[in-house]
Structure 1
């Protein structure tokens, strides 16, 4: 039972050793330990503040990126609309030009056809007049072979001249 009950001498030496170690530690190690803990606490606070600042900057950058993306989308849409409008205008102008060219070609074709038609009619008239003269010549030769027929024809022509 002696081991369980403290002895006064053991108590004294234990207290003296504890006091001595406490004094030495408080003089030599307590300040550096406390300073290290304070530095550690300060660095942790700075790291937390830095992390919060970085988080805020990331949020700001994300917002700025979203804003830039929105602006880029708006600009892209505007450019696409402008390009579509220009393409439509170009298509319409080309369509108009093609329509005018087709109309001009049709007019030219009509003029050529009309000209060729008139030329053909003139050629037919010329041929008809040549044929008419040939037929008239043959008829007159046949009718004028007789002297009485010549006189009757001359008399008829004179009568026709007087009437006109």
Structure 2
């Protein structure tokens, strides 16, 4: 058993030395690059998460900004519609006022025309009545004044009435 024990303890020592050399080689050539890669990957993941948070925050900011823009656009639209209604009402009111003024002007012109025609007709009627009255009076006087005595009485009557007035 002595040999087996020496062999086993020598094997143990060789295996231990190989293991230590293997750990040293792995540490120098494999462990450090693996840890560096893991650290680099961790940094990349953290950066990606930070960028995702920033992107999410930016999306929320854009969403809030869009809502503000939409709200402002609605207010602007309402103001434009209100202004358009006011302009329409003002134009319609002005058109009504203008139409009323034109209508009143036309009515007044028609009244003046009617009054002028009425005055002309009355003047014409008065002239015709005057002419007719003179003709009738002339006829009556011709009949009544056929003799000289009636003519003298009429002249005296006119003279007396003229002095009294």
TM bucket normalised to smaller:
0.7 to 0.9
User: How far 1:11 sits from its partner (Å)?
Assistant: 8.9
CA distance in 1, matches of 2:16, 2:114: 136
CA distance in 2, matches of 1:161, 1:148: 20
Residues 45-64 of structure 1: pairs in structure 2 closer than 5 A: 45-64=46-65
Unaligned runs of 5+ in 2: 1-7
User: How far 1:110 sits from its partner (Å)?
Assistant: 1.2
CA distance in 2, matches of 1:54, 1:158: 127
TM-score (norm 1): 0.77
Task: State the match for 2:100 in structure 1.
Answer: 99
CA distance in 2, matches of 1:80, 1:92: 18
CA deviation vs aligned residue, 1:45-88 (integer Å, no higher than 9, x gap): 10110000110111111111211222222222223222322322
Task: State the match for 2:151 in structure 1.
Answer: 150
Residues 85-124 of structure 1: pairs in structure 2 closer than 5 A: 85-124=86-125
CA distance in 1, matches of 2:96, 2:12: 115
Question: Number of paired residues?
Answer: 158
User: How far 1:13 sits from its partner (Å)?
Assistant: 8.9
CA distance in 1, matches of 2:85, 2:70: 22
CA distance in 1, matches of 2:141, 2:15: 176
Unaligned runs of 5+ in 1: 1-6
CA distance in 2, matches of 1:45, 1:21: 33
Residues 3-22 of structure 1: pairs in structure 2 closer than 5 A: 22=23
TM-score (norm 2): 0.77
